[in-house]
Structure formats: structure tokens, C-alpha cells
Structure 1
Amino acid sequence: MQPLCPAYILHSRPFQDDKLLLQLLMPEQGRVSAIIRKRQGKQRFALQPFQLFTVALTGRSSLKTIRTLDELAPASRFSGKFLFSALYLNELICRLWPDDMAAEQLFNHYQQSLAGLNLAQQQPTQLEPCLREFEFALLGELGLPVDWQHDAAGMALTADLQYYWQAEQGFVVWPGGWSGAALLAIGQQNWQHADSLLVAKQLSRLLLKPLLGDKPLQSRALFTTAL
């Protein structure tokens, strides 16, 4: 009997006449492509994103088959920019996380971010911190962590100096760049600092760009079309 494992559905699309192709996020298996038959009658229920399931997978190839899938918790309900933000998290994982690479910590970060987006629907000022924290957590899990304490030369960041990011090196002193105070605040997740959110957004986009390439993010376009 196949073991049951927790999973989130990141993306789904029709596959053949009676199946769906799902992208799953699972702690031990990571991002997994799997096929499931469409459910009919009393067995039918919506395969919601942002909902925790348990699944049993079979198959030896990279494309798995879902033998059982059960709801483990209610789906998080998002709307407007909070929905677009949740879709953004899913798209980042689908685009950047390698196939079949274990994702225990990423799975935890993702769960925490969904909870953060739920909170942000009641406290909208929490939206951007939630997104930035996930982006930097994802970069760290991909082997690209940001050292918020030291520059590229190993010297401690200084609040009174200004810095810019040098690819494959880290922060370098750069007059007219980001304030050291803002960088130190981001490292402490101190989003009350006046410049921390703006600097965090600029830096995360700079770091994500070479990973994402030239293909635009569909979820990011939703923000533009909704304005």
C-alpha cells in the first residue's frame, strides 16, 4: 500500500479526456507532476489550490499517478490582490523549484506564507512583508541565501554606509545605493523601517530575474490588469 503524504496543488490543467495534470508540492518529494482522473457524481469535489491534501502516488517515471487524494484541511479563501499574491507563490515554485528535489523547509515556508496571506486580508499592511519573506526564503532554499550581516569582503554591514548587490559576491559598498540601515532591518524582518519594503522588493526582483529569465510571470500580470 502506498504511503499517504501531505501535498498542496500548485497548478492543474486538463490532460486527455478524463484526467487532470497536477503540479504538487510535497515535503519529501518536492515538486511533483501527477495525473488524477476527474471525479464524478458523489465522488466529485473541487481540487482547490491553497488546500492541504493527503495523496498516495504510484509510478516509476517522473510523471506519477495519484491513487488516492483526500482533503486534510479546508482551503484558504483569497480574493483580489491576495489571490494574485497566492498564485504568485505557486508560480514561483513551479518555475524555480527543480523536479523531485526534497522540499521540507520550502513546504513549511509555503504553509506559513498562506497563513500570512490570510492574516493580510484582515491587516493589508502585512501583504508585502509576507511576499518578501517568502521570496528570500525560497532563494535561500535554492542555495542563494542573502547574508544580511556582512558585505562581500566579510565586513559587517554598517547602517551609515550604502550598498549594492554584486552577483555571486554579495553586498558591496556603493555610494547612492541601498542604505545599510534598510538592509539590516530586512535581515531582522523589521518592516517598520521606512525603506525596508522598497529595498527588499528591489533586491528580490534583482535576484529572481536571472532565475526566471525573460518569460514574464502570469500572476504578476494579474496585478497590472486589475488596476
Structure 2
Amino acid sequence: MQPQLWPAYILHSRPLGESKLILQLLLPEQGRLSAVVRKKQGKQRLALQPFQEFMLQLVGRSELKTVSTIDEAAPALVLTGKVLYSGLYLNELVCRLWPDNLAAEQLFYLYQQCLQQLAAVQQGVVELEPCLREFEFALLTELGQPIDWQYDSAGGALNAHAYYQWYSEQGFVQMAKGYRGEVLLNIGLKQWQCDETKRSAKQLSRQILAPLLGSKPLASRALFAGS
């Protein structure tokens, strides 16, 4: 019986000896997994690069799989500048937060959709920040930590004129100062017209992601700082 053919994205790669690579792959259903691939497949040497969809077959019973065949399924996205750094950030975020070999229902398609949005950003069609925030919050939902953008920790509807702080074990708690309720409602509705909404969403996502990422800084964020 032939192994199943899977669509996949390469999130990260590192050398294994002179002729092989260890890839971090993102697949539908299977989520993120590690696999060994030869740098040269048959007579053709593929450029195994990120932001490109491949079709591949995996073999092996251990957690570290082997790529038996791999072919390009679509042209690679050409990203530059901050859009490129954002793509690398997405890859690093998934590698850091999604456990190896943990099944994922929607992660592959959320990632694919975000790449399409980044391509639209590169063309000047949409803004960058909302794409990143929507992916971050969707990733948290996939990780089993969804954010309730309608109700506070006491079960009351968020008040557009009130202020809230975020607590990881509770949700939004009404306080004398913090995030404006109107801004939180805008984030939940994906209404990004207001600059305050975009700033607050970035601040909130970093606050929520920080304990999950731990003390090791994200390498991709340093790229933004240097640009």
C-alpha cells in the first residue's frame, strides 16, 4: 500500500550530515512533525524553502519520519522586508508553541490563509498587523486557549465604555484602567480601522503569548528591530 500523499509547508530546516536535512513540517490533520529528507531527491535538486506548498509522502513508525518523495505543489511566495520577517515569525511561532506530533484540525489551513494574506500585504492590498493578530488569536484557539471577546470573567457582556485587564485564568476583568471595552469588541469583530485597536491587539497578544513562549526570545522579532 502506497503511503498517503500530503500537502505540507516547511517551517524550519537544519542540516543532518552532508546529504540530509531535518525538516519541521506542517501538515493537515497531523499538525507539526519532524522528518528527514535527502537534499537531492532523484535527479532533481529541489529548493526546499519556506512559504511554498509541497506534496510529499512520509514513511517510518518513529516520531521522526522520513520523506520518501517530495514535489512542488505551488510556486513559492516571494516575500521581502517586514512581510518576510512576518512569515518567519509565523513559522517560529508554530514551531515554538505547537507540540510535535500533536494532531491539528485547522492549523494547516489557518497558516495557509495567513500566507495568502501576507502575499496580499506584499502587493499593498491589505495591512500587515491585522493578519498577524488574527493568526495569533486563532492559534491560541487551536491550542485550547480561546479568548472570549464578548463577555468578561463575571459573565457580563463587555461594556464599550468600561476598561478591562486580562488574566490568564479568568479572562477580561473590569478595572479602573486597561484595555477599552470598545477596542476589545472591535478586535473580536476583526474591525481594524482604528489605530488604537491595532496597538491594543498587539499588546494583548504579546501579553498572552509571553508565558507560553517562555524566556527565550523569538529570533524573528530581532529582525524587525534591525529593519
If the TM-score is normalised by the length of the shorter chain, which range does it land in? over 0.9
Superimposed CA distance per residue, residues 67-94 of structure 1 (whole angstroms, 9 cap, x where no aligned partner): 0001111111101110000000000000
Q: Paired residue for 2:29?
A: 28
CA contact (8 A) 2:153 2:171 kept: yes
Q: Distance in 2 between matches of 1:125 and 1:65?
A: 38
Q: Distance in 1 between matches of 2:43 and 2:102?
A: 35
Q: Paired residue for 1:211?
A: 212
State the 1:122 CA deviation: 2.3
Q: Paired residue for 2:45?
A: 44
Q: Distance in 2 between matches of 1:117 and 1:53?
A: 18
Q: Distance in 2 between matches of 1:40 and 1:32?
A: 20
Gaps of 5+ in 2: none
Which secondary structure does the structure 2 equivalent of 1:129 belong to? helix
Q: Distance in 1 between matches of 2:127 and 2:195?
A: 15
> How many pairs does the alignment contain?
226
- Residue 5, structure 1, aligned to residue 6, structure 2: yes
Runs of 4+ in 1 over 3 A off after TM superposition: none
Q: Distance in 1 between matches of 2:168 and 2:49?
A: 38
Write the letter of the residue equivalent to 1:19.
K
Superimposed CA distance per residue, residues 19-66 of structure 1 (whole angstroms, 9 cap, x where no aligned partner): 000000001211010000111784112011111111111111110000
Write the letter of the residue equivalent to 2:198.
L
- Residue 195, structure 1, aligned to residue 210, structure 2: no
Q: Distance in 1 between matches of 2:213 and 2:62?
A: 26
Write the letter of the residue equivalent to 1:122.
Q
Q: Distance in 1 between matches of 2:108 and 2:148?
A: 22
CA-based RMSD of the aligned residues comes to 1.2
Gaps of 5+ in 1: none
CA contact (8 A) 2:117 2:126 kept: no
What TM-score comes out, normalization by structure 1 length? 0.97
What TM-score comes out, normalization by structure 2 length? 0.97
Identity %: 62
Which secondary structure does the structure 2 equivalent of 1:25 belong to? strand
